[in-house]
Amino acid sequence: MQTELSRKLGIEHAAFGFTPFPAVAAAISRAGGFGVLGAVRYTAPDDLERDLDWLDAHADGRPYGLDVVMPAKKVEGVTEADVEAMIPEAHRRFVRDTLAAHGVPGLAEGEASGWRITGWMEQVARTQLAVAFDYPIRLLASALGPPPADVIARAHDRDLLVAALAGSARHAVKHRDAGIDIVVAQGYEAGGHTGEIATMVLTPEVVDAVDPLPVLAAGGIGSGPQVAAALTLGAQGVWLGSIWLTTTEADLHSPALTRKLLAAGSGDTVRSRALTGKPARQLRTAWTDAWDDPTGPGALPMPLQGLLVAEAVSRIQKYEVEPLLGTPVGQIVGRMTSERSVQAVFDDLTRGFEQAVDRLCRIAERSGR
């Protein structure tokens, strides 16, 4: 699975993998792909430093990248306490009532919620970058818009490629004009924050709109034929997120959640504002149903919703309260039916890719080409 971009980066396969887990990122790079570590959960620079040390030591000298979240709409000078104060009491009550209805225990005295919104604040993303720029990362990716101009300039000074996720051709053109090097065209099927255009439609639109900038196709890709389809649509590679969640290297800390993922079909996800306030594809659960119910208070905008539900999400995860237990994941979850190593995923992708290409070659031969 070689393209101009994979040759430029010196990787064997033009398959990029987003993951919150350093062990998965390292395994993706070792398998010949390009591992990209998600930084959003690192609110303490020391934790990021520790995990980048580990990743660097375990990537066997292969290139890897970092993904930061820098929302295009900045929340300047606003602290977490300011955001807390904006949350209406009715919404807090709704959280309490929903948890009580499912008998979710509280956290122990002094036990902090493991999930904070601060990773989405520009000042925190900047502390992550201050750490990351000391490591030999080859790619800096950004969700929710391109990084600010000074960050792009610093990345380019260090010979890093900058990528940004786009859910429409209009956004992709904006990203290109901001000076990024790679657009990740992420379709509706994808896990996490996502737009409304399917990968099949979005990819060629973005390829045409930003030509000759390289485009990676994302959303709903988890097999070799899908990789072949993405390259046929003009992408220079693929960007996969969901498929790694059920790999043996992933650390979900919840056997119940892994079981739910393995059992879920492609129709068991929903694009909901329940988790962050922005539409994000995730497993459909009693939690998303409660927030999406038109008779309820509805989700607050980002970043209020993330802060409102942070503690609740930690409690649901800690006690594995099955009806409420979920995670961002895309429609490809329907093909995630067994726990496999990252290497096994790559073996499957490359084998399926070769078969798909052979099939196309036979069709071409029969058509007299």
Ligand X SMILES: Cc1cc2nc3c(=O)[nH]c(=O)nc-3n(C[C@H](O)[C@H](O)[C@H](O)COP(=O)(O)O)c2cc1C
Report the nearest approach of ligand X to the CB of residue 142 (Å): 7
Regarding 332 and contact with ligand X (CB under 6 A), the answer is: yes
Strand order in the sheet with 269-272: 192-193, 280-283, 269-272
Q: Which is nearer to ligand X, 166 or 308 (CB)?
A: 166
The H-or-E segment that residue 68 falls in is: strand 64-69
Regarding 143 and contact with ligand X (CB under 6 A), the answer is: yes
Tokens 């993998």 correspond to what residue? 17
Report the nearest approach of ligand X to the CB of residue 96 (Å): 26
Q: Which is nearer to ligand X, 95 or 202 (CB)?
A: 202
Report the nearest approach of ligand X to the CB of residue 64 (Å): 14
Query: What would the DSSP string read from start to end of 106-121?
Result: PPPTTPPPS--SGGGS
Regarding 311 and contact with ligand X (CB under 6 A), the answer is: no
User: What are the start-end ranges of the H helices in the chain?
Assistant: 4-9, 22-30, 45-58, 80-85, 89-101, 122-132, 149-157, 169-177, 199-210, 224-232, 255-263, 286-292, 304-318, 342-366
Report the nearest approach of ligand X to the CB of residue 222 (Å): 7
Candidates 51, 67, 181, 205; binder of ligand X (CB under 6 A) is: 67
Query: How deeply is 260 buried, as exposed, middle or buried, from its count of CB atoms within 10 A (0-12, 13-18, 19+)?
Result: buried
Residues forming a β-bridge with 68: 142
Over the window 168 to 197, marking each residue x when it contacts ligand X by CB under 6 A and - when it does not, the resulting string is ------------------x--xxxx-----
Q: Which stretch binds ligand X (CB under 6 A): 23-31, 95-103, 151-159, 324-332?
A: 324-332
Report the nearest approach of ligand X to the CB of residue 246 (Å): 11
Angle between helix 169-177 and 199-210 (nearest 10): 30
One-letter amino acid for residue 252 of the chain? L
Residues forming a β-bridge with 139: 65, 161
Regarding 129 and contact with ligand X (CB under 6 A), the answer is: no
Q: How many CB atoms within 10 Å of residue 100?
A: 9
Q: Which is nearer to ligand X, 220 or 306 (CB)?
A: 220
Over the window 28 to 57, marking each residue x when it contacts ligand X by CB under 6 A and - when it does not, the resulting string is ----------x-x-----------------
Q: Which is nearer to ligand X, 218 or 310 (CB)?
A: 218
Name the closest residue to ligand X (Cβ): 241
Candidates 145, 146, 219, 237; binder of ligand X (CB under 6 A) is: 219
Candidates 69, 166, 215, 274; binder of ligand X (CB under 6 A) is: 69
Q: Which is nearer to ligand X, 33 or 219 (CB)?
A: 219
Q: Which is nearer to ligand X, 11 or 91 (CB)?
A: 11
Provide φ and ψ at 182, rounded to 5°: -140, 135
Site for ligand X in 3-32 (CB under 6 A): 18
Q: Are 18 and 67 in contact (CB under 8 A)?
A: yes
Regarding 220 and contact with ligand X (CB under 6 A), the answer is: yes
Q: How many CB atoms within 10 Å of residue 80?
A: 16
Alpha-carbon distance 13 to 346, whole Å? 9
Alpha-carbon distance 184 to 325, whole Å? 29
Chain residues binding ligand X by CB under 6 A are 18, 38, 40, 67, 69, 141, 143, 165, 186, 189-192, 218-221, 239-243, 327-330, 332
